[in-house]
Amino acid sequence: MTKIIDGKAIANEIKQEIKKDVAKLEQEYGKKPTLAVILVGNDGASEVYVRMKKKTSEELGINSLQITLDESTTQSELLKLIHELNSDTNVNGILVQLPLPSHIDENIIINAIDPIKDVDGFHPINLGKLVIGSDDSFVSCTPYGCQELIVRNVPDLKGKHLVIVGRSNIVGKPLANIMLQKNERANCIVTICHTATSDIGYYTRQADILVVAVGKANMITKNMVKPGAVVIDVGINRIDDLHNPGKTKLVGDVKFDEVSEIASAITPVPGGVGPMTIVMLMKNTVKAFRLQNKI
């Protein structure tokens, strides 16, 4: 029988672990982690994500510093703020909510964040440390969450064939590097498929673990999956709901109804990878606090 991987339940388990850790840090050291989140402009989706991050921070006992800037904020003004936060020893993690207004260069902003406070894991130094397997790096939150789901559902990862569909800097590339590392939470054989792959099904049918992150609704069908595979669906796509004319629904990159018939375990959309992203951000924030305070 196929196991439906409950990302919300797993995220709640990790939240409880973090909450206890934060309380212990405050008790022993008299202080606790602080996360600064910067929102520039009035993007509706970004505002929702920032509110969720603030709510989760407060729920876990992490100090939340939310900074909202006007759409007209210049790149220089944003850089000045980031430099101030870099220098503030009371701030452990800095996250700039993306996307930014078009007049601001995202790469310049990401590169300006002190790597030891880059809890989003996008700074080139953290990406480089990830490749070489350094313990003091920060892994971007979505692939970090994917790893956690995989680890909790595949007891022995050594030598398992992990196939990733999608090579983005946000999911595909970092996840490949995470799962290549020689440790008990990885040690996989990794294949990446992308737009230049002529027959994606040839590779996905070989996967013991299949992760799909392309943003194309229902792309992966039953005939593209090996029976017994563990399937992690990162995609979030809004499509017309054929059973409710005029309404829409969220689906993943995997055709869930079909693939769930043969997979040993699969994440639903919504409720799979999504809940993991914010909780892994909180885990990174606690790690940043420990690194900065040499705990």
Which residue, among 37, 72, 49, 89, has the nearest Cα to 284 in the 3D structure? 37
Q: Yes or no: say if 252 and 83 are a contact pair by the CB < 8 Å rule.
A: no
Does residue 245 register a pLDDT over 90?
no
CA distance 248 to 65: 35
Question: How does residue 295 score in pLDDT terms, banded at 50, 70 and 90?
Answer: confident
Side-chain-facing half-sphere of 64: CA atoms under 13 Å: 16
- For the chain, give every domain's residue range: 28-114, 141-275
Locate all alpha helices (DSSP H) within 158-271, ordered by sequence. Answer: 172-180, 200-204, 256-259
DSSP category for residue 97: P
Give the CA angle between residues 53, 56, 57 to the nearest 5°: 85
Catalytic site residue from 15, 97, 117, 173: 97
User: Domain 28-114 class?
Assistant: alpha beta
| pTM of the complete model | 0.93
pLDDT tens for 18-57 read: 999 999 999 999 999 999 999 999 888 889 999 999 999 9
Say what the pLDDT of residue 242 is: 82
DSSP category for residue 206: T
53 part of the active site: yes
Catalytic site residue from 15, 21, 32, 53: 53
Give the CA angle between residues 19, 25, 30 to the nearest 5°: 125
CA distance 150 to 175: 11
Which residue, among 62, 70, 77, 76, has the nearest Cα to 39 in the 3D structure? 70
What's the rounded mean pLDDT across residues 193-220? 97
- Percent of the chain residues past pLDDT 90, beyond the cut: 94
257 part of the active site: no
Catalytic site residue from 15, 21, 118, 120: 120
Side-chain-facing half-sphere of 217: CA atoms under 13 Å: 10
Question: How does residue 241 score in pLDDT terms, banded at 50, 70 and 90?
Answer: confident
Phi, psi of 68 (to 5 degrees): -110, 125
Say what the pLDDT of residue 213 is: 98
80 part of the active site: no
Phi, psi of 36 (to 5 degrees): -100, 125
Buried-state track 28-67, b at ≥16 Cβ within 10 A, e below 16: eeeebbbbbbbbbbebeebeebbeebbebbeebbbbbbee
CATH 3.40.50.720 applies to domain 141-275: yes
Q: What is the mean pLDDT of the chain?
A: 96
Say what the pLDDT of residue 45 is: 85
Do 28-114 and 141-275 share a fold? yes
Q: How far is the CA of 95 from the CAs of 32, 37, 65, 177, 195, in angstroms?
A: 17, 5, 10, 22, 30
CA distance 59 to 19: 8
Q: Answer positive or negative: Cα dihedral of 277, 181, 256, 4.
A: negative
DSSP category for residue 100: P
Q: Which residues contact 262 (CB under 8 A, 6 or more apart)?
A: 2, 222, 225, 227, 228, 229
